Amino acid sequence: MLKGILKRLGIVLFVVVGATALVFFMLHYIPGETAEVMARYIFIGNIEIDASNEDVALISQYYELDKPLIVQYVSWLSKSLQGDLGMSYKTGQPVLDEIMIRLPATIKLAVVSVLISLIIGIPLGIVAAIRQNTIVDYICSTSAAIGVSIPNFWLALILILVFSLYLNLTPVMGSGGVEHIILPSITLGTGMAAVTARLTRSSMLEVIRQDYVRTARGKGLSEKTIIVRHAMKNALIPVITIIGLEMGHLLGGTVIVETIFAWPGIGKLLIDAISQRDLPIIQGCVIFITIMYVFVNFIVDLSYSILDPRIRYER
């Protein structure tokens, strides 16, 4: 077990380092000189106004931007390992502080959205599997197909139009109380619930056809006991995988939904940084998203052996 965990930790480390290198070099190869952008922010305060050659040269020398990219990357990586992701060009604040300020809002939205998807998706999938090829199955499957097909941005605008503008039940945007999180979490949770329902249905159908389920029925166990105690635990292993992927995605910030609802999360921070070409913020957000995604999936891998003791990492 320990050997398997250490092996996966090594893979996680390799992915994170590879992602940092890819993001760093891609951002520094986009059109436009980094030193010029920094000079515009620092000396002028406006990215639209050109900086003088002297200002650009001063910034380039001070921040070591005149050195080869590989040297800059090694320096940035060594500082990042100490928690220093650089300073924002726009605000002058540490990048890590900017991210941590937005993180609670992103976590709150992610957790509520995933809960909504589980509350809706798992029961729908189980019912559809138990009532296969009946009207109930058709209704559940059709609902799931519709949920998968609806784009998040379209659903967000419809929810705002109906519940905020017509019915005046929820705020249009922003964060604060419970009423602010209802629409963005429903927007995200609906699509995930559809995926969860379809996966739960297919996984449950596969499990209930196994020999041990037929044996349980032959022993006279009730259908409820068979589903809850025997079938569901094994059927949820693929569902746990998709939940981990969804949670990793949401913890990285949902760019479109956070922008539409002006939700102050990491996704909104990333969009603002892109529009302002604030490279340290962009770089920090992408690396943070990568780390969160990889970490959540590592936790999901560990949960497999808990759900199914037959799964061992050494194998």
How far apart CA 187 and CA 195 sit, in angstroms, is 14
**In terms of CATH architecture, what is 96-307?**
Orthogonal Bundle (1.10)
Residues listed for the chain: 315
pLDDT tens figures, 28-37: 776 555 555 5
Token couple for 143? 């609902």
Rounded average pLDDT over 94-110: 88
pLDDT value of position 1: 61
Q: Which of 279, 269, 271 is nearest to 59 (CA)?
A: 279
The pLDDT mean for the chain works out to 78
Q: Which of the four pLDDT bands, split at 50, 70 and 90, describes residue 268?
A: confident
Show the CA angle centred on residue 167, arms to residues 166 and 168, nearest 5°: 95
Rounded average pLDDT over 156-161: 90
Answer yes or no: are the C-beta atoms of 125 and 197 closer than 8 Å.
Answer: yes
pLDDT tens figures, 62-72: 666 667 778 87
pLDDT tens figures, 170-227: 888 777 778 888 899 898 888 888 888 888 888 888 888 777 777 877 877 777 777 7
State residue 259 phi and psi, 5-degree precision.
Answer: -70, -45
State residue 87 phi and psi, 5-degree precision.
Answer: -115, 145
Bigger pLDDT: 137 vs 65: 137
pLDDT value of position 81: 80
Answer yes or no: are the C-beta atoms of 202 and 166 closer than 8 Å.
Answer: no
The ranges of the chain annotated as CATH 1.10.3720.10 are: 96-307
Token couple for 19? 């992602």
Least confident segment among 41-45, 224-228, 299-303: 41-45
How far apart CA 265 and CA 255 sit, in angstroms, is 9
How far apart CA 152 and CA 267 sit, in angstroms, is 14
Q: Which of 252, 256, 236 is nearest to 304 (CA)?
A: 236
How far apart CA 311 and CA 304 sit, in angstroms, is 7
Map tokens 């995926």 to a residue: 195
